[in-house]
Amino acid sequence: MSLHFPCPNCGADVVFRSPALPNRVCDYCRSMLVRSDSAVAKIGEVAALPFDVSPIQIGMRGRIDDKGFEVIGRVRWAWTDGAWNEWLLLFEDGGNAWLGEAMGQFMLLWQQPIGKVRSRTMREMINGKQAIPGTEVQIDNRKLVITDARDVVCIAAEGELPFTVSTGWTLYSVDLRGRGGECATLQRDDQETTFYQGHYVTLAELAPRGLRAIEGWALPAYAA
């Protein structure tokens, strides 16, 4: 079901693997492309990713909750005090999730319909209110605490994506965390609000295949 097109900018072959993911960055010329029924259009350009030593890379495969996935995209976000990666996972059943990678820890997050969020504090945040770190919020009968809230900027992206990105795109992002490793993120710009929910995972729990090789470091035993 993968669709191949020539990049309208550089002519390189670009692939779209899921109808739910009509956006991608050309691997060669970094054009931001959007696929319609039969054509691909360039709508902008995305900055090159800065060098990092992330163990994840596009093409890495893994398995969680007995479902296989492949890493097919990434957005790199920055805030005043650092930057992190959000990797897009495409599951065998066509679903997708984000693997957030910050400070050496991993969060697996699924987008949830915004209407599902009933907590009053959360609704207020969806409607434009500032979040206060330390506030407790009830989500799915679990207590989560707002751990931080800040403006984040997209600095780079690669691969296939569920939305178009542009370097400099700014969002208001609120992170929440629960007692048992649950986590959630609310992201808001002047257009819309999205809500993601999930939990912390370790790299080992993802049973990764095709981890990025990093010079001088041995791959972990579970991935070797």
Instruction: By CB under 8 A, tell whether 220 contacts another protein.
Output: yes
* Residue 130 touches another protein, criterion: CB under 8 A: no
Q: Given candidates 39, 82, 141, 190, which one binds another protein under the rule CB under 8 A? A: 82
4-40-152-177 Cα dihedral, nearest 10 degrees: -50
4-39 b/e (C-beta count within 10 Å ≥ 16 → b): ebebebeeeebebbbeebbbbbbeebbbbbbbeeee
Binding to another protein (CB under 8 A) within 56-75 occurs at 57-59, 70-72
> Nearest distance from residue 212's CB to another protein, in Å?
6
1 binds another protein (CB under 8 A): no
12 phi and psi, to 5 degrees?
A: -65, 155
CA angle 189, 192, 197 (to 5 degrees): 95
How crowded is the C-beta side of 133, counted as CA atoms within 13 Å?
Answer: 6
Question: For residue 116, what are its two tokens?
Answer: 């599902």
Q: Which stretch binds another protein (CB under 8 A): 33-41, 51-59, 119-127, 189-197?
A: 51-59
- A 10 A CB-CB count for 56 gives 22
Using CB under 8 A as the binding criterion, the count of chain residues that bind another protein stands at: 51
Contact region with another protein (CB under 8 A), list: 78-86, 92-100, 113-121, 163-171: 78-86
Contact positions vs another protein (CB under 8 A): 2, 4, 13, 15, 17, 27, 50-55, 57-59, 70-72, 78, 81-83, 85, 103-105, 133-134, 145, 147-148, 159, 177-181, 200, 203, 210-220, 223
